[in-house]
Each structure stands twice: as C-alpha cells, then as structure tokens.
Structure 1
Amino acid sequence: MKLRKIVAGIFAFTGLWWVMGLILTMLVPPIGIMVNLYFLPGWLIYAGWWRILYALPVKFSPRIFWLLSALVHLAYFGLSYTDLGLTSLDADLSRNWWLVIAGISCICIIPKNVAEQDASSDAIPSVSEKLL
C-alpha cells in the first residue's frame, strides 16, 4: 500500500471522533451550525482523506491536497490560541492533533520519486571508476 493511502486511512478513521462531536453539536442548531461552518475547511479535508483512501480521482494534484490539509490544520492550531478559536475541555489534545496532522501532511507533500531516487547517483565512485 502507498504511504499517502495509509495516512489518509488513519486520518479518516481517527477523524470519525471529530465527526461524531461535530454532529452532536447539531443538537443545538444555532450553535451547531456556527461550529460546523467554523470547521467547514476541515470537513472538506476530511472528505478528501476518504477519497484518497478509496483511490477516487481528485480534482487537482494530490500534493496540493496534502498542502491544503497541512495549511488547514496549522490554521486551526493558530486559531486555537485566539479568541476565535473554539477550545474543548482538553485543548492541548486538540492542539497536538492539529500539529501532528499538519506535520504528517507535510511529509505526504514530498513527491513519490524522491524516495525512489537511484542511490547509485549519490554513491561514492569505486576505485575502478576513478581509474577509467
């Protein structure tokens, strides 16, 4: 399995906890609507993780998607320290979640061929190559 697909699967399944919490906010409609609008970019990224997991085509480059994933989660991390940020009972868990997701999303931005580069091009030439 590919790294990006594995990461998307882990994020999608762990994101189910956030989904359940956000759906529960809809029990109080005015507050629930505002909270879900606040997290709308996160909802879009969440949908993208499922698309990548099931290998559905995305409208743009997967690298752009992972960049957006990192930016959205870094934005939520930054907003969590402001008056605009919605903090939960365990704000540190939320902040750590957003940083971990952003960091791993940054790893998924790296092109596939970087990991597959020919190691021999960086290798030290052998004695026989020096004599030629």
Structure 2
Amino acid sequence: MKKVLYAIGFFVLCSCTPKYSEHVYVSDFTKYVKSGFEIYPVGTEIKERAYYPVADIKMNFYIGKESSDALKSGLKPVKDEQFGYIYTPTGEYITDKVANEAKKHDANAIMNYKVDKIQTSKGALLGYSATGVAVKIK
C-alpha cells in the first residue's frame, strides 16, 4: 500500500511541472490585401501609405520540461533548481520565430513588435508572448 501511495505522490508531483510548448496565433490578411482591401490592426498608424499590413501575429512560448515542441525547437535545456532541466526560449529565438512566421505571409517587416512576460499572479515566470503586425513595405 505504501508503494502505491508513493507512486501516486510521485505522479502528482511530476504532473505539476508544465511541459515546454509554443503556440502561434495569426490573423492572415493576405487574401484581403490581394483583393485591394486593407486591414489595419489596433496600434498601426497610417501616416504614410508606404506599407500595408498582411497579418497580425501572436506567439506564446511556455517554459517547461521536455516535450515534442521542445525537441523540435532545437533549444538546449537549462538546469532549474526547482524543476530540473527546463526549456526556455531566448530573445533571439523568439524574434527568429516571429520573423519567419511573418515571412510566410509575404511580409518584409514587422510593426509594433513587442515581447512580454507571461507571469502568474504571484509573479512567477511562465513564458513569453510576442506580438506584431506583419507588413509589406511598398
């Protein structure tokens, strides 16, 4: 009976540590732009018409243990005193992912690019959220 309780306790402790994951959210405007209809997301200024937006991008990167996303990412795990080895994206990694996603939508620039921390209400770091507007500069 004691072994069963230890096994259940171990499972509960292991299941509490999240796994590394990446999530991409894109509002693709390409079909509208090609038809001559332009969409300007909040924060996009129209001072000059030297560009047009093609997609609104949001990507979330959650810090965590090994997962299929972590293995595909090519990131190296780092030692964490509380959770063992975890995967944490660097600023360069996040920027590369956002830029590559923008290029998939035929953009040649990103406007209003911003990376924010995703934190618990007590301030613990869960991951990062990157947002930006993919644009085509004329």
TM-score relative to the length of structure 1: 0.22
Which is strand-richer, 1 or 2?
2
Higher relative contact order (CA 8 A, sep 6+): 2
Which is helix-richer, 1 or 2?
1
TM-score relative to the length of structure 2: 0.22
